[in-house]
Amino acid sequence: MGMYIHELKGPWMEHPFWRTKFVLKDPADLQKLQLSTLKEVVIDISLGLDVREVQTEEAHAPSDKEMALLELEGPAGLDDVWSPEPPEKPSQQATTLEAEREQAARVIASSRKAISSMFQDLRMGKAIEASAVMPIVDEISASVLRNTHALISLVRLKTVDDYTYMHSVAVCALMTALAKELKLSEDEVKQASLAGLMHDLGKAGIPLRILNKPGALTDNEFDVIRGHPKLGYDMLLQSNVTDPVTLDVCLHHHEKVDGSGYPDRLVGDQISVFAKMGAICDVYDAVTSTRAYKPAWEPGIALKRMASWTGHFDPVIFKAFVKSLGIYPIGTVVILKSGRLAVVTKQSPDSLLRPVVKAFFSTKSKMHIPVIELDLSKGMDEIIGNESPATWGVGNIDHLWSNH
């Protein structure tokens, strides 16, 4: 939006516009372009926005000082990281999303208090008791094992002020779901859950003026931030935490498979499965959370962008991560073939591509419509892509999927 289209690269009969030069102002025109057979356009940066200006608005990822160089909308998509097999039948202890949501909200509230207290103790130089956090881990993982999506979706509603504490809860939950999808043993699921809760303890050793800085970090400030994995590792040792998975994930959750991560620039199989899991869960929660320096990304858009980051994540584990959440996680805004905007409210047990949604806006009339629930697995409509509600001037719609 805001680019000046100078030329549409293709035969005039293959594009839906009688004009070939215009400023892209109308979201409907953008949709027509994206749905057309055209592969390229030429833009005039003297008359409209440049590519760099558009990317700068979206390119900040929380695990690095600046990720604007990444091609956030690169050619790789989710077609390469999912398989169409239906998920396993739920266990006898499984509950419905509606039944688990209330319990999940209570778990989140109690966990927030406990994690906040733990971080405050660490900031004052006190050691922590690993045994004291195990009840929190058990509650979070039990909720996720009963229903994968209830707690994971609700914890996204954290505020900017809650981020440091609730990020630990979210990554704990995401690690549990991913470990379950990878069919790890019961003991390994517990290890993954504990590691997720403790992975960012080193942030307690970072000055708040840097940790909560709303603007760009200086090189020196970024060096301080990059020290948090080692700080957390040392804090765990001082607290007599000896679990090797927790120590490893804390130290190595910012490693990347191409060796460009930190602190040890590990490559490929030098990074453990658990650390690779931690890297994915950490980034996903960060980019789908509102931060002081960036708005939250829509969950489906986040997965699409993460899938395009070559060399960042292990592709096999990332594929399992997508399957654990669904290609369109709860809370994702999509545009339907009918031209309606809808938000995903439930996953379908039969297909990752056809969740249950609530349609709430018409892109044709550009108006809100009466909310209607659609089960796409029954052919009631079809998703044609992710969408940002802000593009259409739509405000907060969390209440449509969270009942919050």
Of 325, 358, 384, the residue at which a domain comes to its end is: 325
Residue 272's φ and ψ, nearest 5 degrees, are: -70, 160
229 and 142 in a single domain? The answer is yes
226 and 179 in a single domain? The answer is yes
Residue 301's φ and ψ, nearest 5 degrees, are: -65, -40
265 and 144 in a single domain? The answer is yes
Entry pTM: 0.78
Look at residue 143 and tell me if it is in a domain. yes
Q: Spell out the per-residue pLDDT of the chain, length 404, in tens.
A: 889 888 888 765 555 665 678 888 877 788 778 877 788 888 988 788 887 544 434 444 443 443 322 222 333 344 444 444 444 443 436 789 988 999 999 999 999 989 998 998 998 988 888 778 889 999 999 999 999 999 999 998 887 777 888 999 999 999 999 999 999 999 999 999 999 999 999 999 999 888 878 778 899 999 999 999 999 999 999 998 999 999 999 999 999 999 999 999 999 999 999 999 999 999 999 999 887 667 889 899 999 999 999 999 999 999 999 999 999 999 999 999 999 999 999 998 778 889 999 999 999 999 999 999 999 999 989 999 999 888 899 988 999 998 76
Reduced to 3 states (helix: H, G, I; strand: E, B; else coil), residue 320 is helix
143, 95 Cβ separation under 8 angstroms: no
- Tokens found for residue 196: 């997720």
What does the pLDDT read at residue 77?
A: 44
321 and 338 in a single domain? The answer is no
Helices (H), 23-68: 27-35, 51-58
183 and 262 in a single domain? The answer is yes
68, 41 Cβ separation under 8 angstroms: no
Cis bond upstream, residue 229 (ω within 30): no
163 and 269 in a single domain? The answer is yes
What does the pLDDT read at residue 293?
A: 67
349, 115 Cβ separation under 8 angstroms: no
Query: Range of 102's domain?
Result: 97-325
298 and 393 in a single domain? The answer is no
Residues 6+ apart with CB under 8 A from 73: 304, 305, 308
What does the pLDDT read at residue 291?
A: 74
How many domains does the chain divide into?
3
Look at residue 71 and tell me if it is in a domain. no
